[in-house]
Amino acid sequence: MFDPQLFEFNHPGVRDLAWIIGSPPLMANTAAIDLSLILSQEWFLDQLQEYQPWLVSLDEQPEALERFLESRSSHRLGRYFEALVEFWLMHHEKFDLKKAGQQVIEGGQTLGEFDFLLYDRFLKKPFHWEVAVKFYLGYGEGSEWSSWIGPSANDRLDLKLNKLLHKQLHLGRTPAGQSILRDFGWGMVESRAFIKGQLFYHHSQGVSPQEAHPYHLRGWWCYFREASNLFSDVHRRWLLLPRKQWLATKSDLEGNLLLTGESALKRLLQLYEVQPLSVMIAGFSQHESLLWRETERGFIVPNTWPESGSSFGPTVY
């Protein structure tokens, strides 16, 4: 099970790094996908336990992480996620990271990219990892992958998984991919998928997508026209989350950093007057210390979603 308290570090980058290592996978490694392709929750929890002392030390002295992230700076959440995975692999005792972001080009055409090529020192064999962080909203009552749509409405779970399982994980079998592997003195490599993220459910829906991990992270979503009901509880506080804050949960925040329901609704109205956006929002409850801890996360989407796509929202609010 997912325990948010395992990720309560002070530095936001370290919290996100711990979340990347220890949060549940989005999809399960079931026979319907392929038992060998998806890195399992058991493996991730073992890694979190093993690297907890390293994370504690990094939280006390985060300068190396900060410098590395600055060198990989990007407004894209996926690139931030990849940078954190790369930093972890660079410090991993078991893996020797050979290459990150290796493009595979054949006949002048880019076939794809090896996200990570690494060598397992204990098993004494090479691996190819594809990594992704994804957020999908369930639309309708179906469990089909095509019923799970990204907040920008131009991304779907079926499109991502089919590309991952039938193309990206097989790059090493292409002539161009094999040529790159030979440069490292390798023949064939085993491929693994490292997929994290969260699934969001409308209040009228309760069906999970097929092959979703049983402990996947859950949230809610609603249309903008439904948002006023959401903010009626005067005992709750809210925070609109820019993309770079979509990963780890937040805890022990001062109340003056958060919005009341009334203020959150006003801020959303201001955003929607400029451009209808899909906005991720976190809800908070006050605990005994009088600080505020995140207890829920959701998306508020335009009333026309998903028929007309919307952008993710600004990098800051």
Q: Determine the pLDDT at residue 315.
A: 53
Mean pLDDT calculated for residue range 25-44: 72
| CB contact at 8 A, 195 and 24 | no
**Would you say residue 307 lies in a domain?**
no
| Domain region containing 64 | 4-216
155, 289: one domain:
no
DSSP codes, 151-170: TTSS-BHHHHHHHHHHTGGG
**Would you say residue 124 lies in a domain?**
yes
The residues near 244 (Cβ < 8 Å, ≥ 6 apart) are 77, 80, 315
Q: In whole numbers, what is the pLDDT of the chain averaged over residues?
A: 90
| CB contact at 8 A, 21 and 92 | no
**Residue 313 — pLDDT band, cuts 50, 70, 90?**
low
Mean pLDDT calculated for residue range 240-258: 91
**Would you say residue 30 lies in a domain?**
yes
Task: Report the domain count for the chain.
Answer: 2
Last residue of a domain, one of 181, 216, 251: 216
Give the whole-angstrom CA distance, residue 276 versus residue 312.
10
Q: What is the DSSP letter of 173?
A: G
SS3 242: coil
Give the whole-angstrom CA distance, residue 185 versus residue 315.
42
Mean pLDDT calculated for residue range 236-264: 92
**Residue 28 — pLDDT band, cuts 50, 70, 90?**
confident
Q: What is the DSSP letter of 76?
A: -
**Would you say residue 314 lies in a domain?**
no
Q: Determine the pLDDT at residue 229.
A: 87
Q: What pTM was computed for the model?
A: 0.92
**Would you say residue 161 lies in a domain?**
yes
Neighbouring C-alpha atoms within 13 Å toward the C-beta of 29: 17
| CB contact at 8 A, 219 and 2 | no
SS3 48: helix
38, 173: one domain:
yes
Give the whole-angstrom CA distance, residue 146 versus residue 133.
18
| CB contact at 8 A, 271 and 302 | no
120, 181: one domain:
yes
SS3 133: strand
150, 191: one domain:
yes
Last residue of a domain, one of 199, 216, 233: 216
**Would you say residue 306 lies in a domain?**
no
Mean pLDDT calculated for residue range 34-41: 69
**Residue 35 — pLDDT band, cuts 50, 70, 90?**
very low
189, 73: one domain:
yes
Give the whole-angstrom CA distance, residue 202 versus residue 216.
16
Phi and psi at 131, nearest 5°, equal -120, 150
Span 190-203, pLDDT tens digits: 999 999 999 999 98
**Would you say residue 308 lies in a domain?**
no
Q: What is the DSSP letter of 224?
A: G
Q: Is 81 a residue whose pLDDT tops 80?
A: yes
SS3 185: coil
| CB contact at 8 A, 161 and 27 | yes
Q: Is 238 a residue whose pLDDT tops 70?
A: yes
